[in-house]
Structure 1
Amino acid sequence: MDAKLLTLVVVGVFLCTPMAFVDTDAADPGFDITDDDGNVFHFEGAANKIVACGLGTVLTIADAGAISKIVGVDKYSTYEYTKNEKLKDLDSIDLKSFYGETNHSGIKTELINMVDSGKLSLDDPIILTTYEANKILKEDLLDLGFTHVLRWATTSLGSYDDLISFVKNVTMIATGEEGTTIRDMESKVDQVTSVVSNIPEDKMSKALTVWCSASGDVKVTNKGISHSMIGVCNATHVGYDDSKGSYYGDVNTVISLLEENPGTVIFLSDKWASSGKTIEDFRNEILAGNTDFKIVQMGPQWNNYCPESADGLLEMAKALYPEEFGVTPEDDPTNSNGNGNMTM
């Protein structure tokens, strides 16, 4: 075929073919985050400044490498209160307690002052967790003109996936991407589930999570993060009662459950250790010296909405199924009879 004729044919084909052009400027950048109230908030990109209520939130942002973006926190998330080394460089305003509504007026006044002084804008995200009263505070802040007030009801938990989703959302707000934090959490969860999924029902370990205080009060930790962690570990939570709240019972309840369930692994809340108490203190003061049960002291952030909870999940799984995770008797700080201590 003549070259000129071939050229005309090709041009004709292009002229007869509908062409689709994409307007790249029309593409909507950013991402959407949906909070526990079902509200959808759009972000053009990573936040520049963040107000955070809840230690789990603050630690998640710190783990994402964005601690410098935090400009306001509740009193229980400060370095002075927690002495957590990850918060040593935290430079933010202490907004005091978010518990109840007593300090709501002070919080709102301080946030408005921060806007007036340029330390915050009405479009910067405010992340509220932990306290039920924050639902009221959220509405008040939205009425004041703040546009990105997100709330998560972290006092209860449906599944461990909800915790990972929360960490993912907060990390996205802080950095604009999931980053290595989420991948590391999911890797630990996959490691646990890949091992425990093969445990037959008649070989499932038993676990009991116990809330403790320095004064010696104990309760069964019922609903929440630790319950979901036991579920991921494919163990039986012997103290779980769907009809009861997050905590219930007393020392007699704990002892009764242990008598009914020999071989149960006891997980102590971090409050026991933070009050200066040891596992041996629990064994002597609560169990009257009974050495038939393995006792594990939980770390301070195992039961929190932050990446460190995945580390706790892996350690709980190892305590419940040491052989399956390759923990030999020599490596296990407890012996085969459950005697001894395990402090993570």
Structure 2
Amino acid sequence: MNVKIISLVSVLILFSGLSVVVFSDNSNGADSTTTITDGTGKTFTYARPAEHIVTMGYASTLTVAMLGETDKIIAVDTYSTYNYTKDERLAGLNALNLGSIYTSSNNDNIVAQLVQLVGKGKMSLGDTIILTTYSNALTLRDLLNGIGFDHVLVYGVPTSPITSYEQVKDFISDISVIVKGDTSSLVGNMEAVENTVINGLKGTSERPPALFVWYNKTSGYSVGNTGSIAVSLIEAAGGTNIAYSPNSATTYGDKNTIVQLVESHPNTIIFLQDTYIKDGHTVGDFRNDVLGGDAGIPIVIVDSKWNNYDTDAASGLWVFACALHPEIFQGAMPSADGSSTLYVIPIQASRAGTVGGSSSSDLALYAIAGLLVGLIILGFAYFYLRRP
């Protein structure tokens, strides 16, 4: 770290002593505090909602935006910006781009820019910084703690990953408490979907075979074993992950692995990551390249946002449940207050895989799933805004 930063830090520590005192003065008159435990087990105390927040990770940035607190975000990583994500929910984001935390090469720059924000009075050493996903988040946290930033929370790093729907809910609940002071109805909506699925599955012992297929332009195909939200959604939605192998890596295999698993498990439903479509391929290409042109195997395209720790995981769970158990789940996605304007077109025809040699049923399902995500966003916003 350069001398310029260190010199400024000594001044900022004195400044932060004053700003922390102001921050701790509870203008609402409440004398209670809230304790948040981050993904690594560290605890942090909050006497009031955060006034400013730094979110280094798309999931955390999107969650704050979905909570209606975009204006509190003062800095983000590159992968949270609207220019990178093209996510309309982040179109109103006006925050400093700190670059990537993928490796430690950018750490000094991040620290320097945050120190400058403190020096300009745009944040204090007591403001919240959320770091996610990469191992370097732990290294960066230590650097920031050494400077004097005392509310640096870390989630989803490889040593303590977020891989289940429950963990996603906990993460969103934490962010909600930090920026709003309580648990948002967005969490309630996620719980409504989960509870509906749990209760619906009580009436059946059937656990249809399912397979989550990863695709990467460089490495090609692999299957999901453990360690991803998408895989956990299979189990949560009442399916059986046929790729589960306790002695294998979190993802493993190739095209031949997919063929072998599908052949040995009749009636398998394939959940295909949308990176395959985004790379310019079609469902028909997948059928021809991997399945020998077989049009009878149902394929559901998995939106990458469902496989992330944000509120979109709820729509993922509902689509997975509708695909695996169409006789139980279809239509409107549940919400916390028992009403919904959302609708899912029944997908029995696609699940049965009876559409000739074309992939029209799968493409229709993909379009429906995309529409569902948009409607879910509006629905979540509607229910949140209706809350007193």
With the length of structure 1 as denominator, give the TM-score of the two structures.
0.87
- How far, CA to CA, are the matches of 2:126 and 2:322 in structure 1? 44
Aligned residues of 2:111 and 2:144 also touching (Cα < 8 A): yes
- How far, CA to CA, are the matches of 2:310 and 2:75 in structure 1? 18
* Residue equivalent to 2:268: 264
Q: Deviations over 1:232-282 (max 9, x none)?
A: 112100112233333211111111111111211111112122223222221
Instruction: For residue 216 of structure 1, report the CA deviation from its aligned partner.
Output: 7.6
Aligned residues of 1:157 and 1:228 also touching (Cα < 8 A): no
**Secondary structure in structure 1 of the residue aligned to 2:79:** helix
**Aligned-residue CA RMSD in angstroms?**
2.2
* Residue equivalent to 1:304: 308
How many percent identity over aligned positions?
A: 34
Letter of the aligned partner of 2:74 in structure 1? V
Aligned residues of 2:50 and 2:127 also touching (Cα < 8 A): yes
1:182 paired residue among 180, 183, 187: 187
Q: Please say if 1:144 is aligned against 2:160.
A: no
Q: Which moved more, 1:171-180 or 1:86-95?
A: 171-180
Mapping of 1:40-59 within 5 angstroms? 40-59=43-62
* Residue equivalent to 1:240: 244
Runs of 5+ unmatched residues, structure 1: 1-24
* Residue equivalent to 2:352: 336
Structure 1 residues 140 and 243, CA, compared in 2 at 3 Å: closer, same or farther? farther
- How far, CA to CA, are the matches of 2:261 and 2:125 in structure 1? 51
- How far, CA to CA, are the matches of 2:204 and 2:300 in structure 1? 21
Q: Please say if 1:68 is aligned against 2:84.
A: no
* Residue equivalent to 1:17: none
Letter of the aligned partner of 1:36 in structure 2? G
Instruction: For residue 288 of structure 1, report the CA deviation from its aligned partner.
Output: 2.4
1:250 paired residue among 229, 247, 254: 254
2:286 paired residue among 278, 282, 285: 282
Letter of the aligned partner of 2:123 in structure 1? L
With the length of structure 2 as denominator, give the TM-score of the two structures.
0.77
Mapping of 1:32-111 within 5 angstroms? 32-111=35-114
More helix by share: 2
Aligned residues: 318
Instruction: For residue 213 of structure 1, report the CA deviation from its aligned partner.
Output: 2.6
* Residue equivalent to 1:170: 175
**Secondary structure in structure 1 of the residue aligned to 2:306:** coil
Q: Deviations over 1:121-175 (max 9, x none)?
A: 1111001111111111111111110010000125534532111111100111111
* Residue equivalent to 2:200: 195
Structure 1 residues 66 and 288, CA, compared in 2 at 3 Å: closer, same or farther? same
Letter of the aligned partner of 2:117 in structure 1? M
Aligned residues of 2:211 and 2:269 also touching (Cα < 8 A): yes
**Secondary structure in structure 2 of the residue aligned to 1:103:** helix
- How far, CA to CA, are the matches of 1:243 and 1:157 in structure 2? 21
Q: Deviations over 1:90-117 (max 9, x none)?
A: 0001111110212111111111111112
Structure 1 residues 190 and 338, CA, compared in 2 at 3 Å: closer, same or farther? farther
Letter of the aligned partner of 2:199 in structure 1? S
Letter of the aligned partner of 1:195 in structure 2? G
Q: Deviations over 1:219-242 (max 9, x none)?
A: 112222112211211210011223
**Secondary structure in structure 2 of the residue aligned to 1:262:** coil
Q: Deviations over 1:273-307 (max 9, x none)?
A: 22232222211222221223110001231001001
- How far, CA to CA, are the matches of 1:53 and 1:97 in structure 2? 8
Largest Rg, 1 or 2? 1
* Residue equivalent to 1:316: 320
* Residue equivalent to 1:230: 234
Letter of the aligned partner of 1:226 in structure 2? A
Instruction: For residue 335 of structure 1, report the CA deviation from its aligned partner.
Output: 5.4
Structure 1 residues 27 and 247, CA, compared in 2 at 3 Å: closer, same or farther? same
**Secondary structure in structure 2 of the residue aligned to 1:301:** helix
- How far, CA to CA, are the matches of 1:329 and 1:70 in structure 2? 37
Q: Please say if 1:127 is aligned against 2:130.
A: yes
Aligned residues of 1:294 and 1:338 also touching (Cα < 8 A): no
Q: Which moved more, 1:110-119 or 1:323-332?
A: 323-332
